[in-house]
Chains A and B, each alone.
Chain A
Amino acid sequence: MDSIDLARVERRARRKYEWARVRRAVFGFAPALFVVASAAFMNHRSSTALVLGAAMFVVGVGLLWYGRELRRAVLPGLAMGLLPLALALCANHMGHACMGDRCMTLCVPACAVGGLGAGIGISLIGLRWKQGWPFWIGATTLTLLTGAMGCSCVGYGGVAGLAFGYAVGLLCGFVRRRSSRSL
């Protein structure tokens, strides 16, 4: 009855569907490029910030393209990543804190504090939305990459501080949740 090769039509439609999703993801995540540009402009290590920003953009587009729970991780991930990014960039411009004859950069503590806040924020959102592991992975990756654009100011130390703070923040969120349930 139907002389049309429906399997071929479906394959072509599927290809177009995927490309449409990629386009939507790129356009949808394009505002994040403003964050990348700002971070690269304000960071002393512009090239590192740009590389991390590119990675963040690719991850964000990938999450939006894939959809479902991963897509839901994009906005919280990006928003929470802005916290350590902003703190690190501010600390970067404030310079050093000196006590007596010893000075230390403010970048690492700022990243740790920012990471802590981001971790708590993500855990609260994830637990409230009752999300599965794809959300946690997506949000964590995006938060850490966004924050790392600013925390790369002192190299790996800043990024490690961010990751440590984030892990502690997540743990705090889980513990708080569990304790409120047990009460």
Chain B
Amino acid sequence: MDPNQKAQLDSLVARLAEGDRAAFTPVFQALWQPVRRLCRSMLANDADAADAAQQALEKVLTRSGDYDRKRPALSWALAIAAWECRTFARKRARRREIAEEQVAETGAGSEQELIERELMRAAVDALGTLTPQDREALVATFWEEATNVAGATLRKRRERALKRLRDTFKRIYGLD
């Protein structure tokens, strides 16, 4: 931007700060490329730089009311834009950290699920070695299925079936 263009930009931003809406589009057009270049130099990713440049320019324009006409408008705008790009980069880094943590947590969840699935498969295998009566008592207890016995009889059967299941599980897997 040559000194003439800079002086023109100073006057346009001062007009915008005063509320002259006619200066909005010229200011936007004059600042877009410098802000975009700055964001591209600060953020390696081109797509991120484009997003950051949009946010930065919005911030510059919304803060135009604070513009001090004694200062050069371009450096004032680029200072705001640089800050915005830095904020954008920090947010992006934080998002990535959170995403990595989520991935790690999801991994831990999968491992837990795997263990549970293994235990369930072992329990079902052990259940298969029991008599049909024991199986029925346990299924009625833990899966709330209807059974042809109830009350004290069911409780007794369940106790016996659980003991046998525990013994079988211990014998097969060596676990209690």
Residues on A close to B: CB < 8 A? 4, 6, 9-10, 12-14, 16-17, 19-21, 24, 65-68, 71
Contacts and interface: CB of A to CB of B under 8 A. Distances in A.
Given A16-B58, A16-B62, A24-B65, A10 B20 contact: no
B50 A20 contact: no
B58 A12 contact: yes
Given A6-B32, A9-B54, A10-B25, A16 B61 contact: yes
Given A17-B24, A21-B19, A68-B20, 16 more contacts: A10-B24, A10-B28, A12-B58, A13-B57, A13-B61, A16-B58, A17-B61, A20-B63, A20-B65, A21-B65, A65-B19, A66-B19, A67-B19, A67-B20, A68-B19, A71-B18
Contacts of B168: none
Interface in B1-58: 18-20, 24-25, 28, 32, 50, 54, 57-58
Given A6-B32, A68-B18, A68-B20, A20 B62 contact: yes
Contacts of B25: 10
Chain B, interface SS category: helix
21 contacts: A4-B50, A6-B32, A9-B57, A12-B58, A13-B58, A13-B62, A14-B24, A14-B61, A16-B61, A17-B62, A20-B62, A20-B65, A21-B19, A24-B65, A66-B19, A67-B18, A67-B19, A67-B20, A68-B18, A68-B19, A71-B19
Nearest to B60: A13
Interface in B84-110: none
Which of B19, B57, B61, B63 has the largest count of A CB atoms less than 10 A from its CB? B19
Nearest to A4: B50
A30 to B, nearest CB: 16
B32 to A, nearest CB: 7
A44 B24 CA distance: 47
Contact of A4 (B20, B28, B54, B62): B54
Nearest to A15: B58
A10 B27 CA distance: 10
A20 B16 CA distance: 13
Contacts of A17: 24, 61-62, 64
Nearest to A19: B62
Nearest to B65: A24
Contacts of A14: 24, 61
Contacts of B63: 20
A19 B65 CA distance: 12
Contacts of A6: 32
Contacts of B50: 4
Interface centre among B18, B58, B61 (most CB of A within 10 A): B58
Contacts of B54: 4, 9, 12-13
Nearest to B19: A67
Contacts of A4: 50, 54
A67 B64 CA distance: 12
Nearest to A17: B61
Contacts of B64: 17
Nearest to A72: B18
Nearest to A70: B19
B66 to A, nearest CB: 9
